[in-house]
A and B are shown apart, each in its own frame.
Chain A
Amino acid sequence: MTLELFIVQVLNGVQLGILLFLMAAGLTLVFGIMGFINLAHGSLYMLGAYFAAVGYTATGSFVLAMAIGFFFTFVLGGLADAAGLSILHRRDHLDQVLATFGIVLFANELVRVIWGNAPVYMDTPEYLADPISLFGLSYPSYRFAIIAVGLVVAVALYLLIERTRVGMLIRAGASNRTMVSALGVNIGWLNRFVFALGAGLAGLAGAMVGPILSIQPGMGEPILILTLVVIVIGGIGSIRGAFYGALVVGIIDTIGRIFLPIVLRNLLDPSMANAVGPAVASIMVYLLMAIVLAFKPDGLFPVRNRS
């Protein structure tokens, strides 16, 4: 029983980690190539969820709904970059943080005006409603599908960056953008594509959590902050770091919340454990981050040769 519970929770942790990776990949790529930190990344996640919910109601097809979640945020990201977000690329981080903070306030309120304060719910499609059996272990098939999609995206992203011409330009842009543009590459369009791709991935993450969380204004902030923890632990700008960081954070957060209170109950007296348990469990990830940074200030997979 306990082992079974443990494995299920590890899988839940992996599932959270995969979502965090989708968020972190975009954020860390955008940061790596254009030195731009975008707090509104969480808003894109939120919008992806709303777009998917609306798309699901309109089309009745779950796959289409996911595609809508990705595509609309992809386009929105590209448009936002074209509309003037790119002014911020040349500004310092303080300005970027503040301007995107303003955008977060705006986006949350806009969503509230359009869809109201009450949460919007999205159903799991029928074919993913029944649990599947993994080596005799029953696990919700929807969560399993999230893991599968996330891994496919991770592999696709790896191939895109390591094996294609665009990916080569992205890597080149990350290490020396002036040189890349001097070689005749339109770095503006490259940036726009990367930014839109990151936005689309955040939107896809949001679309996929639709059926397991309630879709509501402000839903992007908790995951945004976890994502920031992920990329700090992984090493800012590193996709590989984002992947491992996301899995570590996802698993520790999930396992900690379930098992830490149980462990504490055995160590402390019950009233004390009940008071302290949830508090300690909710800060495990942040403690992990503090420990990592105390020993490795650049994260676990630091990016070298940054100009």
Chain B
Amino acid sequence: MSRLRSVAVALSLLAFFLVPVYAWATGDVYALTLFGRILVFVLAATGLNLALGYGGMVSFGHAMYIGLGAYSVAILTLMGLHSGWLHLITAVAISGLVAIPVGWVALRTQGIAFIMITLAFAQLFFYIFISLKNFGGDDGVSLSQVSNFGPLTGNIYALYLSLLVTALIVLGVVMRLVRSPFGLVLRATKVSERRVNAVGLHSLPYRLTAYVFSAQVCALAGFFLANLTGFVSPDYLKWSISGELIVMVLLGGLGTVFGPLVGATALLLIEEFLKAMTEHWPLILGPLIVLMVIFLRRGLWSLLEGREKS
């Protein structure tokens, strides 16, 4: 990593750690909610990046795993089960169980069909949650109580810090993973699946594992999102959320460990800024996305590259 990049990562991490200090000093709890939301999407985008950036799997449906994570919290809470660890384990386990068959079917296809199928599966779950009137249906559910973690329950500082630590751990795991033999094969499948199979490996288990793991990271993000907002609705699974997740990964830099951190932060801050400016903010965000695709193909992270060739 170039020096410029190391400095940028260190500074942004420092900024994330300073947010609770700032909130505590000024009483501005909104900053915690805003940056908590940003961290949720950093986490989700990091998960997606593993499938999209390293595995070349353009999933247009990862919002469904955020939704599954969030609904794990909501449904267990409605059933009277409040244990936080139970919520967490359920979110990760359910998303894994769903991601295995979904990934298996989707990975039978390639290219554009893969994009559409992942989108369609996400819609499938979107409509399931809309029609389950017992769990709030269209309107969603306000959680009567957030996940129970003993004395820390409902403490936003604790929530923010655990979110930050989780994001750091996941970033670390991804960094290790992509350099491992597993990651090498995964990156190779992105370049040419046929060649990977030709050297005697089977690409499917590698791609499926990466897909499932990335789904579980998104579910983890959903678990935190539910606790952060105290509210769960089918909107979390909307196709535009899946789209925004891809924008975050691409804006940061496809297939770079810290790209999603940069991309998610940048996109949400831009959105926040535009929302403050005008209620018709998508009128500006839409063209910005188009410009980004056309001119910033390698992402913001690549701007910090200096002269070094990667």
Query: Are chains A and B native binding partners rather than an unrelated pairing?
Result: yes
Give 1 or 0 for each of B227-247: 1 = CB within 8 Å of chain A CB. 000000000000110010011
A279, B127: Cβ atoms closer than 8 Å? yes
Whether B283 lies near A102 (C-beta < 8 A) is no
Contact with B along A274-297 (1 / 0, CB 8 A): 110011011100110110011001
Kindly report which residue of chain A lies nearest to residue B285, judged by CB atoms.
A105
Q: How far in angstroms is the closest Cβ of chain B from A61?
A: 33
CB of B289 within 8 A of CB of A236, answer: no
How far is A104 from B283 in the complex, measured between Cα atoms in Å? 10
Contact B116 A228 (CB under 8 A): yes
Known contacts: A94-B58, A97-B60, A110-B283. The answer to whether A102 contacts B246 by CB under 8 A is no
Tell whether B119 is near chain A: CB-to-CB under 8 Å.
Answer: yes
B292 to chain A: which residues have CB within 8 Å? Answer: 98, 102
Instruction: Judge if B288 is at the interface, Cβ distance under 8 Å.
Output: yes
Q: Tell whether, in the assembled complex, residue A232 and residue B287 are in contact, meaning their CB atoms are under 8 Å apart.
A: no
- CB pair B120–A102 under 8 Å, yes or no, is no
Is B16 engaged at the interface, CB distance under 8 Å to the other chain? no
Q: Which residues of A contact B117 (CB under 8 A)?
A: 232, 289-290, 293
Contact between B246 and A98, CB atoms less than 8 A apart:
yes
Nearest chain B residue, comparing its CB with the CB of A221: B239
Residue of B nearest to A286 (CB): B124
Determine whether the beta carbon of A94 is less than 8 Å from that of B246.
yes
In the complex, the answer to whether B294 meets A87 with C-beta atoms within 8 Å is yes
Residue A115 at the chain B interface, CB threshold 8 Å: no
Cross-chain contact of A104 among B58, B134, B286, B293 (Cβ < 8 A): B286
A 104-121 binary contact with B (CB < 8 Å = 1; else 0): 111111101100000000
CA distance A220 to B198 in the complex (A): 43
Residues of B within 8 A of A279 (CB): 127-128, 131-132
The chain A residue with its CB closest to the CB of B129 is: A279
- Residues of chain A contacted by B121 (CB below 8 angstroms): 286, 290
List the count of A-B residue pairs having beta carbons below 8 Å apart: 131
| A295 CA / B112 CA spacing, docked (Å) | 18
The size class of the interface chain A forms with chain B is 35 or more
**Contact, CB under 8 Å: A37 / B240:** no
**Main SS class of interface, A:** helix
1/0 per residue, CB under 8 A from B, across A89-101: the answer is 0010111011101
Q: A94-B246, A293-B105 are in contact. Are A31 and B112 (CB under 8 A)?
A: yes
With the chains together, A250 CA to B129 CA distance in Å? 22
Chain A residue nearest to B254 in the complex (CB): A94
Please name all residues of chain A whose beta carbon is closer than 8 Å to the beta carbon of B246 when the two chains form the complex: 94, 97-98, 101
A102-B290, A293-B105 known; A109+B282 contact, CB < 8 A: yes
Taking a contact as CB atoms closer than 8 A, the residue among B112, B280, B293, B297 that contacts A102 in the complex is B293
Specify which of B58, B120, B280, B292 lies most central, judged by the most chain A CB atoms within 10 Å of its CB: B120
Q: Give residues of chain A (110-134) contacting chain B, Cβ–Cβ below 8 Å.
A: 110, 112-113
Given A87-B294, A98-B289, A228-B116, A283-B58 contact (CB < 8 Å): no
Q: Which residues of B contact A88 (CB under 8 A)?
A: 293
Rank and list the top 7 A-B pairs by shortest CB-CB distance, nearest first.
A106-B286, A102-B289, A105-B286, A286-B124, A278-B131, A279-B131, A282-B127
Interface, chain B (partner A; CB < 8 A): 52, 58, 60, 105-106, 108-109, 111-113, 115-117, 119-121, 123-124, 127-128, 130-134, 239-240, 243, 246-247, 250, 280-283, 285-290, 292-294, 297
Cβ contacts A to B, 11 pairs, < 8 Å: A93-B111, A99-B289, A99-B290, A105-B240, A108-B282, A225-B239, A228-B119, A229-B120, A232-B117, A289-B117, A290-B117
